Structure 1
């Protein structure tokens, strides 16, 4: 089965951070959904539930404990959003079907459905979330 990292147009950044223990898109904390008419594009910014076992030295030195990513879907063909809230923990599912990438949310208070041609990891960073 193909994972979401395999569907990225360029995956070396996330593979370098996580190695063989690649993160899932289960229980992500969705912060933002931005729509761009150029492309057209849709960008989701969220925190991953898994922190790397061996984080980069600068992340460890700064006490970072959360990885935040931005996924951008390019050449959006269909988009639907149902609901919005101040805290949305949900699962993201991404698959390729007939040459189209399908991103869907499940198990959360926000429904997002996006069909696009490309999936790009447009940002990968970390920060310290207070416990």
Structure 2
């Protein structure tokens, strides 16, 4: 089961990646947020690969990185250990009776249990370090 299949609204991201969204391995994590409304956990991160054929708007701007904000709603439990300004690691989603998310980096461990997940935002920007296909700020 892919991570996108465990979200409520994967269509836009799946379309941009023409059906093959990269796994959440080696992602750069920009933000971890908790919100009592929901309650919710938010993760904002860069995907490890850029789409082979990016949207025209992204191509015109020369973007090279896709950023996703993934929100976990109906948060029941969360544990966070450590943090850093340089967070790069893996995000793992497991669907059981609830949705479990685990984030593992060299300096941080996060685990949470939620009812559901959705893609709150998908954008692209010029990071300046093209990692795969050509293309790639907010779009």
- TM-score of the superposed pair, with normalisation by structure 2: 0.90
Q: 2:128 is matched with which residue: 107, 127, 130?
A: 130
Corresponding residue number in structure 1 for 2:59? 60
Written as runs of structure 1 = structure 2, the 5 A alignment for 1:24-103 is: 24-97=23-96, 99-103=97-101
* Shift of residue 108, structure 1, vs aligned partner: 3.0
Residue ranges of structure 2 left out of the alignment (5+ in a row)? 130-139
Q: How many residues align?
A: 129
What secondary structure is seen at the aligned counterpart in 1 of 2:4?
helix
**CA distance in structure 2 between the partners assigned to 1:45 and 1:106 by the alignment:** 14
SS at match of 1:22: coil
Q: Which runs of 5+ in 1 are unaligned?
A: none
Instruction: Using structure 1 for the length normalisation, give the TM-score.
Output: 0.95
Q: Distance in 1 between matches of 2:120 and 2:19?
A: 21
Matches of 1:16 and 1:108 in 2, distance apart? 32
Q: CA deviation at 1:21?
A: 1.9
2:15 matched to 1:10?
A: no
Question: The residue matched to 1:14 in structure 2 has which SS?
Answer: helix
Q: Is the 2:87–2:105 contact (alpha carbons within 8 Å) kept by the matching residues of 1?
A: no
CA deviation profile, 1:26-68 (whole Å, cap 9, x unmatched): 0010110111001100101111111001000010110000000
